[in-house]
Amino acid sequence: MGKNGPQISVVAPLLDEQDNIRPLYEQITETLAGRYEYEIVLVDDGSTDRSFEILTELHKADDRVRVIRFRKNFGQTAALSAGFAHARGEIVIALDADLQNDPADIPRMIDKLNEGFDVVSGWRKERHDKLITRLIPSKMANWLISKITGVALHDYGCTLKAYRKEVLNETNLYGEMHRFIPAHASWSGAKIAEIVVNHRPRTAGAAKYGLARTWKVVLDLITVKFLGSYSTKPIYIFGGLGLLSTLGAIVFGLTVIYQKLARGTDMSGNPLLILTAVMIIATIQFILMGLLAELLVRTYHESQNRPTYVIRETLEQGEKKAPSQ
């Protein structure tokens, strides 16, 4: 270990992977030993098998192995977030502990990162997963995420990614948000790259995810889009909805007036009159919601002294400085 800590931090969340932990450790060690100063951060996300016992043995045998144990299962995003927070390396590699991600791909990802990128995402071009429950939903989700976020990647769901630590320092993770880190980073000005990585069939343990996760991803995508596009100007989206309601109220109101004047239609029994009133009320509500959201956003940023921008570096008195965290 270098004087200033490791160059590389490998973060792997795991849940009931007792048969995969030792092979994972051996493959990471074989790949990185002698090439980099590194550490391995293994996050036990509430395992109920012998996983923690094995992790403890690895930690005692190798001080480069660091272990974080949750009290219960909090999910993959929480496990990755804890691993990222405890990682000390300048470069952080995330990968799954089920051996489907190949540690041998890590040097290529680091080389790509060193070309000037801030995030390098893995693309499992040849996947070994079930067609109906994994492959088809994944392709649909990747297409949808790329379209909505504007950051085109083939495989958002691939855990194997390389990050510069400063990118992770600017990102808070909730829900299933770990897959959206490239989008968050891109919105902050980070450079994103994608390379094809090896994907191996699972040989031990059981998959922890199925079709149910797809709906969660869609909901998180809506949240990500809102936060990415309107987190500092929520009045725009609520005001836009209010404008649509106003236009609807005008159209329906004019229709009611036309029907009354031209045809003598009874206004009191006209459903369009009720719809006009509903649209007017909706307009008022949207505008008020937007104003309340603006107050919340300002309170959030000002109470934490949190800026609405991200600085990559500064030049002062002839010296280039990294942004303070």
Same domain, 68 and 213: yes
With respect to residue 243, please indicate whether it lies within any of the assigned structural domains.
yes
With respect to residue 324, please indicate whether it lies within any of the assigned structural domains.
no
Q: What is the pLDDT of residues 237-280, one digit of tens each?
A: 888 889 999 999 999 999 988 888 888 777 777 888 889 999 99
Which residue from 74, 93, 83, 85 is spatially nearest to 27, judged by alpha carbons? 93
**pLDDT the model gives residue 186:** 86
3-state helix, strand, coil in the chain (%, to 5): 50, 15, 35
Distances (CA, A) of 135 to 129, 179, 211: 6, 16, 10
Q: Which residue has the tokens 């500064």?
A: 314
Residue 258 vs residue 25, higher pLDDT: 25
Same domain, 61 and 186: yes
Q: Which of 200, 230, 260 is the last residue of a domain?
A: 230
Same domain, 172 and 278: no
Question: How far is Cα 57 from Cα 222, in angstroms, rounded to an integer?
Answer: 42
Q: How many domains does the chain have?
A: 2
Structural tokens at position 31: 């790949």
Same domain, 288 and 207: no
With respect to residue 49, please indicate whether it lies within any of the assigned structural domains.
yes
Which residue from 42, 211, 197, 12 is spatially nearest to 107, judged by alpha carbons? 197
**pLDDT the model gives residue 173:** 72
With respect to residue 79, please indicate whether it lies within any of the assigned structural domains.
yes
Same domain, 17 and 134: yes
Same domain, 188 and 204: yes
pTM higher than the cut 0.75 = no
Domain range for 264 is 234-303
Same domain, 129 and 239: no
- 295 pLDDT above the threshold of 90: no
With respect to residue 311, please indicate whether it lies within any of the assigned structural domains.
no
With respect to residue 323, please indicate whether it lies within any of the assigned structural domains.
no
Same domain, 226 and 238: no
Q: What is the pLDDT of residues 135-185, one digit of tens each?
A: 777 788 888 888 888 888 988 889 999 999 998 887 777 666 788 888 888
Structural tokens at position 125: 């071009």
In the three-class reduction of DSSP (H, G, I as helix; E, B as strand; rest coil), residue 146 is classed as helix
* Domain harbouring 222, CATH code: 3.90.550.10
The alpha carbon dihedral of 6, 11, 15, 17 has a sign of: negative
